[in-house]
Chains A and B, each alone.
Chain A
Amino acid sequence: MTRNLAAKAVKAAVITIVLLVGLLGLAPLYWMIVTSFETSSEALNSPPDWFPHHLTVANFRLALDSAPLVQMFLNSLEVTSIIVVGSLVIASAAAYGFTRIRPRGSRVLFAILLGGIMIPAQVAVVPIFVVMRDLHLINQLASVYLPALINVVVIFLLCQYIISIPRELDEAASIDGAGHFTIWFRIIFPLSRPALIAAAVFIGQTYWNDFFWPSVFLSTPSRMTLPVGLVELQSQTGGGESVTVIFAAIVMVVLPVTVLLLCCQRYLVRGISLASGR
């Protein structure tokens, strides 16, 4: 009995510590939100303010004036949605081909494609830069989303998923005269929806926040996605005074999406467990 009580007390203590550390981890976000509503002289105060004295929205206006934030947001949205939709359609079709049709030579091809998981971005980026330059796509959003349309991990996890869909469904449709396209589009694609949603949240999160590719290919502020655009905004405003403007920009255009993604964390976990092959 006492042992049970002791165990419970330990558990409660551990959970309290976990919650406190978690709150400490959220403190920077809270400080950012408070600072984004402060005047720049208040923001430079030491000790730092944890409650704003006079609320001001001037920083938000200044941020909008200093950088095309709305355009950057739309650019991010465009890049992310093209990558999510495009890479999933391409991956789903490929996975159907690999698991259901299995044409001659497709096993070898699948093995080669899987090897692509090991090719890191920094290896592919220089030759792709040359290709994009020759196609006059540098500083265009296409240079960021085109290379991301091939996602080997997603092909792999969709293959795993499609294998679990009973073949009788295809066969029944086939008897009714459906061809491969109809079977894929009407049966396999809708039935793999759980995997597709999980993958979509995962890919969306990755490319919404991606910094490396856009920093290589995009150089004009109005063409930039948000992560590179915010760094650009910082280099334009400069100095300690920029803190309120940058924070206002992040609070305005980044934080809402962060909250949206937090609401989808269930799918994120599912996407990860699919990607790890279980």
Chain B
Amino acid sequence: MARMSVRETRGGTVRIRPRHTASGPGRRTDTARARRRQETLAGYLFIGPATVLFIVFLGGPLLAALIFSFTDWQLLGPIHFVGLSNFRSLFSAQVLQIFGNTFYFTFGSIVLHIVPGFCLAALVVRLRSKTLKYIIQTMYVAPFLLGYASAALLWEYMLNPSFGPVPYYLHKIGLTLPFAGLLNSPAWAMPTLLGVDEWATFGFLFLVLVAGIQQIPEELYEAASLDGAGPLRQMFRITIPLSAPTIFYAIIVNFILAFQIFTPMYIMTNGGPLGRTESMVQYIYQQAFQSFQIGTASALAVASFIIIALLTVVQFTLGVRLVRRATGYSEAGR
């Protein structure tokens, strides 16, 4: 608005007038309207590429997946609508087990990442020595930056029952391990994958928490020290309440990542043994691109979208409320 009135004065007058006096009757209104139209056009030229890509690669596919989920399409040949039968098949024992696996993995991953991640981040942020801080951060982030595919390959050999170091040392300290290896044991496969996930992605959640805890103003700690509050008291009175929004953000990020877990299952166990490590995204992948059951794959994909959307909204609203209660700040829930 302000810019428009400035431009209009450029022609003759030197004074900068507010817009309502500049756009008088007649020709001037026309030029103002033309200019506004031009602005709209320019605006959409800037927003356009992102919008087109959004329609082609996000919004459109979401609608298409919704439509596919009511059909029995097999990627080639005709499309028949089959009503809700794909969604009914989501209640089969196999798919229910897959949901169970996925929730188990997600819950385990969140607990194993957020609790130690928060403790470590709280420690690292408050370290006085920059070098020590950098060394610790680098150590814990390196596995994450190696990438999940390489990490999964590395751990497949680490866990190899005949020459892998992990079974060797676990045996050394007196643990009896399944003969066929941890990854081939129905009881141990999923906990083992959780361990691999801990190694491969801990660094990321740790950085998320570090990024948040860093924002807590240093003066609060100084004031607390002057008042004689020890490190434990500072932890419970400052760090934990003030990083509540960060923790909630980290939990949501962790939830979204773990709920869509694919790589370690695909590389290390292929869903086995006995389907104990089959994850939702892996099943979608297999249904869509190996069995070409587009309908079933889409139904599960849509269901997963609904679960993610619902839980994100619930976590967010719940999070905002809890954070408000914990901190007493209304704007802390940002």
Q: Mark B267-297, 1 if CB is under 8 A from A, else 0.
A: 1000000000000110011001100001001
> In the bound complex, do residue B212 and residue A28 qualify as a contact, i.e. CB atoms below 8 Å apart?
no
Our pick among A48, A119, A227 for the contact of B58 (Cβ within 8 Å) is: A119
**A25-B143 in contact given A7-B231, A91-B50, A124-B62 (Cβ < 8 Å):** yes
The stretch among B106-114, B159-167, B320-328 that forms the contact with chain A is: B159-167
Q: Is A273 an interface residue (CB 8 A)?
A: yes
> Closest chain A residue to B64 by CB distance?
A127
Q: What's the nearest-Cβ distance from chain A to residue B194, in Å? A: 15
* CB contact list, B38-55 vs A, under 8 A: 39-47, 49-51, 53-54
Q: What's the nearest-Cβ distance from chain B to residue A214, in Å? A: 9
Report B-chain residues with C-beta under 8 Å of the C-beta of A250.
146, 150, 153-154
> Closest chain A residue to B66 by CB distance?
A123
Q: What's the nearest-Cβ distance from chain A to residue B281, in Å? A: 5
- Cα-based distance from A174 to B160 in the complex (angstroms): 66
Q: Is A57 an interface residue (CB 8 A)?
A: no
* CB contact list, B221-235 vs A, under 8 A: 230-231
The stretch among B26-34, B80-88, B92-100, B134-142 that forms the contact with chain A is: B134-142
24 A-B residue pairings within 8 Å (CB atoms): A28-B154, A93-B49, A93-B50, A94-B46, A97-B44, A97-B45, A101-B39, A112-B54, A118-B308, A120-B256, A123-B61, A125-B61, A126-B68, A127-B61, A130-B75, A150-B54, A152-B54, A175-B7, A175-B10, A180-B46, A208-B147, A209-B145, A211-B262, A226-B149
Interface size class of A (residues with CB under 8 A): 35 or more
Known: A113-B54, A227-B147. 12 other contacts (CB 8 A): A18-B136, A46-B162, A48-B163, A101-B42, A102-B43, A103-B40, A125-B301, A127-B61, A152-B54, A211-B263, A212-B262, A276-B249
Report B-chain residues with C-beta under 8 Å of the C-beta of A129.
288-289
Looking at chain B's contact residues, the main secondary structure is helix
Q: Is B157 an interface residue (CB 8 A)?
A: yes
Q: Mark A109-140, 1 if CB is under 8 A from B, else 0.
A: 10011001011111111111111000000000
- Cα-based distance from A147 to B60 in the complex (angstroms): 12
* CB contact list, B114-170 vs A, under 8 A: 120, 123, 127, 132, 135-143, 145-150, 153-155, 157-158, 160, 162-165, 168
Report B-chain residues with C-beta under 8 Å of the C-beta of A123.
61-62, 65, 301-302, 304-305
Q: Is B101 an interface residue (CB 8 A)?
A: no
> In the bound complex, do residue B284 and residue A122 qualify as a contact, i.e. CB atoms below 8 Å apart?
yes
Report A-chain residues with C-beta under 8 Å of the C-beta of B302.
123
Our pick among B41, B49, B50, B150 for the contact of A230 (Cβ within 8 Å) is: B150
> In the bound complex, do residue A246 and residue B65 qualify as a contact, i.e. CB atoms below 8 Å apart?
no
Q: What's the nearest-Cβ distance from chain B to residue A234, in Å? A: 6
Q: What's the nearest-Cβ distance from chain A to residue B120, in Å? A: 7
Our pick among B132, B150, B210 for the contact of A227 (Cβ within 8 Å) is: B150
> In the bound complex, do residue B334 and residue A209 qualify as a contact, i.e. CB atoms below 8 Å apart?
no
- Cα-based distance from A113 to B165 in the complex (angstroms): 48
Most A C-beta atoms less than 10 A away, residue of B153, B163, B305: B153
Listed from nearest, the 8 A-B pairs whose CB atoms lie closest are A103-B43, A97-B46, A209-B147, A22-B139, A227-B149, A94-B50, A127-B64, A150-B53
Query: How many B residues touch A, CB cutoff 8 Å?
Result: 95
> In the bound complex, do residue B146 and residue A122 qualify as a contact, i.e. CB atoms below 8 Å apart?
no
- Cα-based distance from A45 to B139 in the complex (angstroms): 28
Q: What's the nearest-Cβ distance from chain A to residue B108, in Å? A: 18
Q: Is A29 an interface residue (CB 8 A)?
A: yes
- Cα-based distance from A123 to B67 in the complex (angstroms): 12
Q: Is B6 an interface residue (CB 8 A)?
A: yes
Report B-chain residues with C-beta under 8 Å of the C-beta of A102.
43
Q: Is A262 an interface residue (CB 8 A)?
A: yes
Q: Is B57 an interface residue (CB 8 A)?
A: yes
> In the bound complex, do residue A209 and residue B162 qualify as a contact, i.e. CB atoms below 8 Å apart?
no
Q: Mark A197-220, 1 if CB is under 8 A from B, else 0.
A: 000000001001101100110000
Q: Is B211 an interface residue (CB 8 A)?
A: yes
Report A-chain residues with C-beta under 8 Å of the C-beta of B294.
126
- Cα-based distance from A32 to B127 in the complex (angstroms): 31
Most B C-beta atoms less than 10 A away, residue of A14, A174, A179, A208: A174
Our pick among A103, A268, A272 for the contact of B39 (Cβ within 8 Å) is: A103
